[in-house]
Amino acid sequence: MRFGFHVSISGSMIKAVERAEERKCETAQIFSRNPRGWSFNELPAEEMRTFRNELHRSGISPIIVHLPYLPNLAAGDTDLYERSVESLQEDLRRAETLSAACVVMHPGRRSGLSIKEAFDKVIEGIDKALRTVNNGVKLLLENTAGQGSEMCHRFSDLAVIMRQFKRQNRLGVCLDTAHAFAAGYDLSQKRGVDEALDEFDKLIGLDRLHLIHLNDSRTPFNSRVDRHENIGKGFIGTDGLRAILRHPLLSHLPFIMETPWTGLKSDLRNMRAVRKILQEKGHNK
């Protein structure tokens, strides 16, 4: 079990390692480029060598790359869809250069398509990206809160995509706790956590779960609204997060926090809160 944050790459990739160390990260997540645009610069070879050396020195591992916000594999618009597939391919390449273990992506927001058509487009786009960029980087599909036209807020929806791929070593899942809670999985108490993981295992398989996004929820259970909150300050709360953090089936996974960012102090408070929950006595695991 390793803990970290999504950290900014502003200034340079090397700055991201410095920020991760400041936050006492053991693992970290980054964007490989501007998350709100389509354009990107090539990753300079010398900077990448320094970045990889700094990562090795720091012991921070694994590094995770998150796909930018704009790509949408469930888009009916042909130009947007093609750009989205190309964007995914690019980040799979960049992740390898960055020595990242995986790329995390949201499956998409359905627009102009039926549900079946949207699933078919997502599956087609993932297949094309993985065939085109045949490297060792895993692609992790992240569950959503089901806000608006977001796809895959239920594990059964993720399973529709996952079972289409025989090359299971390249495709896995990132479970976001705030998204799951907002989508109708009651992670605020141990029984709900157990039930959610049991459903996940039956539909997808816990062997295909590779990453946890550990976030509290600012919105109530089953709200279908995606709003992250600081650790222990939201509707999931300390009891639910304790059940997640102490669950034996999750103890081998990296945990990335995407809590509301107000500066270094807030991130350090969240890291202390996680450590405190793990160290508390008098609670059942």
Q: What is the reported pLDDT for 40?
A: 87
Question: What pLDDT is attached to residue 285?
Answer: 44
The pLDDT of residue 193 is 98
**How many CA atoms within 13 Å lie on the side-chain side of 60?**
32
Contact between residue 243 and residue 193 where contact means Cβ atoms under 8 Å apart: yes
Task: State how far the alpha carbon of 63 is from the alpha carbons of 35, 52, 263, in Å.
Answer: 17, 10, 21
Tokens encoding 267: 């991130």
Residue 206 DSSP label: G
* 10-residue stretch averages of pLDDT, the chain, 285 residues long: 96 96 98 92 95 97 97 96 97 98 97 95 96 96 97 97 85 98 98 98 97 98 98 98 97 97 94 95 54
Q: Is 41 helix (H, G, I), strand (E, B) or coil?
A: coil
Is pTM beyond 0.75 here?
Answer: yes
pLDDT (0 to 100) of residue 283: 53
Are 81 and 112 a contacting pair, CB within 8 Å?
no
On the 0-12 / 13-18 / 19+ scale of CB atoms within 10 A, 56 is exposed
Pick the CATH number of 2-279 from 3.30.960.10, 3.40.50.720, 3.40.50.620, 3.20.20.150: 3.20.20.150
List residues bridging with 105 in a β-sheet.
Answer: 141
